[in-house]
Structure 1
Amino acid sequence: MPGPIVITSLAYLLAAFAALYMSRKRNPLPPGPKGLPLIGNLHELPYEYPWLTYAQWAKKYGPIFSFKVFGSTTIVINSFKVATELIEKRSTNYSDRPRMIMADELMEWAWSFIHMPYADRWRRHRKMFHQYFQPRVLSTYHPSQTEMTIKLLRQLSCTPEEFGSHIKHYVGSLALKVAYGYEVKPKDDFYVQLVGIAMEPLLLVVHGNHLVDFLPFLKHIPEWFPGAGFKRLAKDGAKRTRDLRDIPFNAVKKSMADGSAQQSFAYEILEKVKANNPNSQEEEEIIKNCAGIIYLAGSDTTSSFLLAWMLAMAQYPQVQRTAQEQLDKVVGKARLPEFSDRSSLPYFEAMMLETLRWHSIVPLAAPHRAIQEDEFEGYNIPAGATVTINTCLCPGRHFAMDTAWIAMASILTTYHIFKAADITATEIDPTDFTDGLVSHPKPYKLRIMRRPSTSIVFT
């Protein structure tokens, strides 16, 4: 009679043969660069401007390709059609997020529901955010957007050479007003600067290509250990992250206590929670997180888009002239554009979309994770694989585009945008934009002059 060792050995052999048989029957992974033993494609990973490398690989391997690092599979999608099929039509399998140790665990960005795994906590955050930023409620923000736009025009009139600071002040002011009811100072406001302070270290690691993301045990090594500089970076980043989330939110709670709070997202929902469930610490945490996302995303992405658009207007003056001609015809030269004019300005709308194509401000979406094994067009997508999309759709994009539209239309109604004297290139190299989660144009100069034909007074 066979002994236990023989039986156990046979069981292992059968399991091995079964696994080998199943792997042969399984479809292949999407094509991709051939890696090295053990480390896979670690040596080929793009640590700067990864979307440009992914675009090059897509030309070689197709709209869906893969690579491996230490046995972990990453699937990259470089096609809107494929992204729609997987992320939207098969959302139950691809709504999860991979573990991002450097960004989420060490730098403490796990509070952002954009990074959260697909679970009840994520759904509660998403629901709260969507209630206040779905298209049908956006008109409630139009008065604030119009008010802030007029302030922007005044700033451009006084110091046009500081247009970059004025744009950041405009979008930061609006985000802070909507999220927290905070009225910013005319210049060098701490709350406006807080976003940049918090984002600076995150931009270095957000793509999940840091070594600790592939070798999780490294998170436990002490800061003094050789090669542990990432731990010191993470510690500083975590402090900045907490400040971004806590300082403005605590200011709202303080103003509510002394009766000076202004209407805002945080104030309105905190009031509801106070009335219905005053001891709900968990609900308050969700409010804090969602307000932080409004503040962060509203400040950073919209300013990047507007600065890219202004650069494009200087590079393509004929597009600027055509847009101004349509504005003059629809709006006239005696008033500023209003949101009710938008449907009558199709060229202007197309110009906005073309700016997004010309320079994608968020070129890589936050990575997804395949919950279960899947098959797509003859390729195998393993369970647990990271799925990266070389494009992005933001849940607050409708609010952001409204914010951008009213500013763009008002600027072109009242100003001309010209190249600075030292700008001669007609094309912009992709690396003239910053790397990171949000890609900004690198600092540049413009000439901004009042259109003499307009009689609008906003000073």
Structure 2
Amino acid sequence: MTIGGTPWLFLNSRRAVTALLDQKAAIYSSRQKLPMASEVISGNKRLLLMPYGPEWRKQRKAMHKILNNTKSNVFQPFQDLESRALLYHYMDKPDRWWEANARFANSIVMSVTYGKRSGLGDPDLANLLNNADRFIPYLMPGQALVDIFPGLLKLPIPSSWQPWRWWGDALHRSTKRPESVCGQHSGLEQLVHCGII
């Protein structure tokens, strides 16, 4: 059955579920297509929103090279330090626990990647959380007209007639923040050369 241009398959027996989702998972277990989140806002670049296929496998393979068990020892000191900081923030500012959790995760990534920790109240972290608050609703099916009618993305209509583009493109630009990312690269080569990263 097709609803709004999206094929739906209803399974009513355990045998059918096993046959399709276990034995033929590569064909039938892809992610739900969310055109607004994956195409308009993310430019088909977010691994979590990519459908299974060659690009997804390539990205996943690259991620596994970086995040495998042998390299996880590199992250241990950063995780220990940030865990202590997280507990401190819980005790010091319990009303900001959500921001403390985000700071914890972001600071590990920033420390490993750029050699720079994130602090509670960091403007880049605030921007990240603001963008996440604006992005998360689009992960729910049907939040945008193009999620219901994905064919609208393929129609040759001017951008001025596509309100989902106004919001999606603005959010895409704000998540890229080239000036913020470029600022992080300034000392990166030196840190790599010294063997710190």
Q: Is the 8 A contact 2:36 2:146 kept in 1?
A: yes
> Could you say which residue in structure 2 is the equivalent of 1:201?
134
Cα distance, 1:253 vs structure 2: 3.8
Whether the 8 Å contact between 1:104 and 1:110 is mirrored in structure 2 is: yes
Structure 2 unpaired stretches of 5+ = none
Secondary structure of the structure 2 residue equivalent to 1:205: helix
**Matched residues in 2 for 1:110 and 1:136: separation?**
30
Question: Larger Cα Rg: Structure 1 or Structure 2?
Answer: 1
Q: Partner of 2:173: helix, strand, or coil?
A: helix
Deviation at 1:218, TM superposition (A): 3.0
Among candidates 187, 192, 196, match of residue 255 of structure 1:
187
3-state SS, counterpart of residue 49 of structure 2: coil
User: Aligned equivalents of 2:179 and 2:68: distance in 1?
Assistant: 27
Match of 1:191 among 110, 124, 130: 124
TM-score by length of 2: 0.72
Q: Which amino acid aligns with 2:140?
A: H
Q: 1:172 aligns with which of 106, 127, 130?
A: 106
Q: Which one has the bigger helix percentage?
A: 2
The answer to whether the Cα contact below 8 Å between 2:145 and 2:164 also exists between their aligned partners in 1 is: no
Q: Secondary structure at the match of 1:187?
A: coil
Separation (CA, whole Å) in 2 of partners of 1:262 and 1:163:
37
Query: What SS does structure 1 have at the residue aligned with 2:164?
Result: helix
**Which amino acid is 2:115 matched to?**
G
Contact kept in structure 1, 2:36 and 2:147, CA below 8 Å: yes
Counterpart Cα distance in 1 of 2:58 and 2:92: 45
1:237 aligns with 2:178: no
Structure 1 unaligned spans of 5+:
1-66, 269-459
Q: Deviations over 1:31-76 (max 9, x none)?
A: xxxxxxxxxxxxxxxxxxxxxxxxxxxxxxxxxxxx6413532247
SS in 1 for 2:48: coil
- Secondary structure (helix, strand or coil) at the match of 2:107 reads helix
CA distance in 1, matches of 2:2, 2:75: 45
User: Displacement of 1:164 after TM fit?
Assistant: 3.1
Give the aligned residue type for 2:66.
Y
CA deviation after TM superposition for structure 1 residue 120, in Å:
3.1
Which runs of 4 or more aligned residues in structure 1 lie more than 6 Å from their structure 2 counterparts after TM superposition? 81-85
Q: Distance in 2 between matches of 1:114 and 1:76?
A: 24
Equivalent residue number for residue 128 of structure 1: 62
Aligned match of 1:110: 44
CA distance in 2, matches of 1:69, 1:129: 35
Task: State TM-score, norm by structure 1.
Answer: 0.35
Change (3 A) 1:123 1:102: same
User: How far apart, CA to CA, are the structure 2 residues paired with 1:110 and 1:152?
Assistant: 33
Q: Compute the RMSD of aligned alpha carbons.
A: 3.6
Deviation at 1:203, TM superposition (A): 2.0
Indicate conservation of the 8 Å contact 1:102/1:208, yes or no.
no
Query: What are the superposed Cα offsets for residues 83-116 of structure 1, whole Å, 9 maximum, x if unpaired?
Result: 8865554233136556543223322341112233
Q: Secondary structure at the match of 2:52?
A: coil
Alpha-carbon distance, 1:127 to partner: 0.7
Distance (whole Å) between structure 1 residues aligned to residue 30 and residue 6 of structure 2? 16
| Whole-Å separation in 2 of the counterparts to 1:68 and 1:262 | 55
Change (3 A) 1:85 1:188: farther
Alignment partner for residue 153 of structure 1, among 87, 112, 136? Answer: 87
Distance in 2, Cα, partners of 1:173 & 1:193: 13
Equivalent residues of 2:5, 2:151 under 8 A apart: no
Aligned equivalent of 2:25: 91
Displacement of 1:138 in angstroms is: 2.9
Higher strand share: 1
Structure 1 pair 105/162, CA: closer, same or farther in 2 (3 Å)?
Answer: closer
Q: Distance in 2 between matches of 1:188 and 1:262?
A: 30
Alignment of 1:309-348 (within 5 A): none
- Does the CA-based 8 Å contact 1:96-1:118 persist in structure 2? yes
Whole-angstrom CA distance in 1 between matches of 2:35 and 2:52: 17
Paired-residue identity, %: 18
Given that 1:103 and 1:208 are in contact with CA atoms closer than 8 Å, whether structure 2 keeps it comes out as: no
1:214 positional shift: 3.9
Aligned-partner Cα distance in 1 for 2:16–2:127: 37
Answer whether contact 2:115 2:191 (CA < 8 A) is retained.
no
Q: How has the CA–CA distance of structure 1 residues 262 and 84 changed in structure 2, closer, same or farther, with 3 Å as cutoff?
A: farther
Shift of 1:82: 8.4
1:170 deviates by 2.0
Deviation at 1:248, TM superposition (A): 5.9
Alpha-carbon shift at residue 148 of structure 1 (Å):
1.0
